[in-house]
Every structure is written in structure tokens, then in C-alpha cells.
Amino acid sequence: MTELNRGFEQELKTFLELAGISDPEMMSEIVAALAESAGVETEADLLMLKEGDLVEIGLKPVKARRVLKVIADKFAKNEAADQEVADASEMEVMPQPQVSYLRDVPENDASWLEVLRTANALKVSENTYIATVHAALAAKLNVFEAPAKLVTEMEKFAIENDEILSDRFYQVSNSLTQSKYGEIFAAMPGVDGKFVTKARRKETMKRLEQYFWPVLAKSKDVLALWWQTWEKMNNTSVILRDFMQYKANGGTSNPRVPDTGMIHEAATELRLSINRALAGAGPVVVTAMSYDYSRIKMALADPNLPREVGLLNHDQLYAKLGLQIGPGAISNERNLVKYVLNMVMADEVPAEHEMDYFQELYFLAERVNWDTLLPQTKLAPMCVTNAIGEQVELVPDEVE
């Protein structure tokens, strides 16, 4: 007979009580059955439970769903708490300038959709760059395939369990698998959803993959090289001394900083690569794709959705759909969008604020998880200005 840890056994009984099962004898029988028949031994095992498992040990379907909801809610709260701790730790590790010179981006999908309703997609603007990153990221993460997969899984689960499809199935099917762009193109005479064809979407995604991602990889490597060059030419104490003197003089002194020309060149190249990727109807297409991306994420965040396919939580749902859009990925997305926007706008930074701007941009880039997004790049040797004003060649592979 499998014996559970007493603390875990009590936790299981708490879940059952919250689900409306209060009889002590029944709770003990269910806990014993979970251990013996379902093989539950740890909290992690609870995430693997399905409605059928609970029905098999004697629970009615409604009671089973209540238990699964209690467990899912508990783990959702834990995930939120873990994310808060991670965010707090990140803030402690990364230096934060007192005044930020970086442009901000919308905080969430709802606020971004409000921006799209009033933006003019026919002109390349800051909003176009944000939409471009959304479109490129969504294509990279296969987000646009998720609605069809979700609808299929919902119908499959209902049939397997001899159930009638819920209202949510039809809402998801109608809202996510049929793209309607009237609200974002209303302010643009002559533009409507018929211009966002499958062929144009496919071509735009192809051009983003070809022109955007490789140059983005180079830009973040150039920025890192600039920062590492500074560290290589100076020890930490000298950097801090010069930086404090620079701030004390109101940004008028000349600290030991490598020439920023290579960053401006990378920023220009990134901006031109985006413009090149958006040739033709690109600005309109990425605006529509960004709109779809935000709507899909908002719909998938429905707390009841995992149970519509027999799962406990959103992590399992995203894994089933082949997605990476949990709390960590969303935070990574916002950092990526903010990085791209501020890199392409780097030429507009006043000279007296360049040091603060690029320092802050570097630390922002450090918070982006690049591993799953970018191709590996190798920069050619560059000429930089050393601490005494000499031009020297620096080989990136040799920078520590």
C-alpha cells in the first residue's frame, strides 16, 4: 500500500474540501484511491490528473471537475508568485538608471489593441516596428496555428467523453479562426481585411525570417561588443569613477567609452532590414498579424480553457498546442519588443544621453532569452577607440 507524506495527504484533503467534499470518511477513501489507483505521490503528480482518473476512483464528473479546478487554481497562484519572485530578483541583479531614456511599449495586449484601433498602418512608425516584432515572434512560435489545433482538441475531447460541445467552443471557433480587421483598418480609407491574404502573410513571414532575425542577432552582438570593449579597456573601478564624474558634470565630461558609431551602424542596418522585410503591403500585413497575435493570447488566457481539453492548467495547454507563451515568455516578448524599438530609434538619442541610453539598452538586451529566437552569428573584427584615443582592431571571439 502506498503511504503518502502526512502533510501532502492533508493538502489533498484540503483540495477535496474546497471542491465541496466534506465527509471525512469519503475524503480518506478518495486520498487512498488517488495514491493506490491513480499513483499520485507528489504535488507534481496532481498536474497529470485528468477528469477520467477521478471518475474511475468514484467521483462524479461534476465533482471531478471541481477538484481539478481547485488544483489548477492553486498551481496558477504558485506560478504567479514564482514570476513575481523572479521579476524581483531580476530587478535586484540588473542596474536600473534613475531616469530611463528608453521608449516604453504597451504594457499588455489590451492596451496594444487600443493603440492599433487608432494607428495608421500605411505609414512606417514606432507602432509598425512593434507590430513587426509581434508578427515575427508569433510566426517563430507557431502561434497562428494554435486556434485550429485548439478547436480540434476541444471537439475531440467532447466526443471522447460523450459530451455536447460547450458555448466556448463556438466562441473560440468564430473569434479565433476567422480574422476580421474592421476595427483596426477603419481609419484607413480603402484598406480592409481582403488585403491580408494567406499569400501575403506567407510572403511577409518569409521576408521577416530572411531579413529581420539575422540582422537583429547582429545588432545585439554589436551592442554587447561595445559594452565588453568598455570593460576590456577599463577595469571596474575606473568605469565607475568615470561614470560618476560624467553624471556629476551633467553629462558634459568625456568618460572612457568606445566610439558608439558601430551601434548607430547596427541600428541603421536593423531599421533598413525591417523596411526591406515589409516591402509591398508589409506594414498592413504585420499590423493584422500583430492584431491576431494579441487576440489569440488573450483568448488562450481564459482560466476555463484547459478543462475544455481535459487538462489542468495553461502550461499543459500551451505544451499540447506547441506554444511558448506562458508568463516568462510574455515578459521576454515585451523586453524584445522594447529592445527592437529602441535600437531602431537610436539615431534620435541626443549625444549627451548616449551613454545612459546604450547602457540601459544593453541591460535590457541581457534580459531577453535569445537562445530560441536567433541564428548563431559571428561578427567580423571591428575598429574601436581605446582609452587613450587610439584606433585598435578588436576581435569579438577574444572579448571575455
Where do the structural domains in the chain lie, given as residue ranges?
Answer: 6-92, 103-218+259-374
pLDDT at 91: 45
Contacts of 225 (CB under 8 A, 6+ apart): 262, 379, 382, 394, 396, 399
Q: What is the pLDDT of residues 252-276, one digit of tens each?
A: 444 556 788 889 999 999 999 999 9
pLDDT band at 209; cut points 50, 70, 90? very high
Q: Is the pLDDT of residue 3 over 90?
A: no
The answer to whether residue 117 scores a pLDDT higher than 90 is no
**What value does the mean pLDDT of the chain take?**
78
Q: Percent of the chain, pLDDT > 70?
A: 74
- The confidence score (pLDDT) of residue 89 equals 46
Averaged pLDDT, 79-107:
59
Confidence of residue 77 (pLDDT cuts 50, 70, 90): low
The third-level CATH classification (topology) of the domain covering 6-92 is DNA polymerase; domain 1 (1.10.150)
Alpha-carbon distances of 365 from 31, 304, 338, 398, rounded to whole Å: 48, 35, 9, 21
pLDDT band, very low/low/confident/very high, at 166 (cuts 50, 70, 90): confident
Confidence of residue 213 (pLDDT cuts 50, 70, 90): very high
pLDDT above 60 (res 364): yes
153-157, 191-195, 232-236, 361-365: segment of lowest average pLDDT: 232-236
Measured CA to CA in angstroms, residue 56 lies from 36, 65, 158, 162 at distances of 12, 13, 18, 16
**pLDDT greater at residue 361 or residue 107:** 361
How far is CA 372 from its chain centroid? Answer: 12
pLDDT recorded at residue 93: 43
The answer, yes or no, to whether residue 131 has pLDDT greater than 90, is yes
- Least reliable range by pLDDT among 154-168, 230-244, 308-322, 367-381: 230-244
Average pLDDT rounded to a whole number, residues 187-197: 77
Residue 16 — pLDDT band, cuts 50, 70, 90?
confident
Cα separation, 221 vs 246, in Å, equals 26
Nearest-CA neighbor of 104 among 345, 281, 295? 345
pLDDT of residue 94: 44
Name which of 86, 138, 87 is nearest 112 in CA terms. Answer: 138
pLDDT band at 246 (very low <50, low <70, confident <90, very high): low
β-sheet bridge partners, residue 310: none
Single-letter amino acid code for the residue at 109: D
The whole-number average pLDDT for the span 195-204 is: 90
What pLDDT is recorded for position 337? Answer: 94
Question: What is the distance between the alpha carbons of residues 154 and 113, in angstroms, rounded to a whole number?
Answer: 27
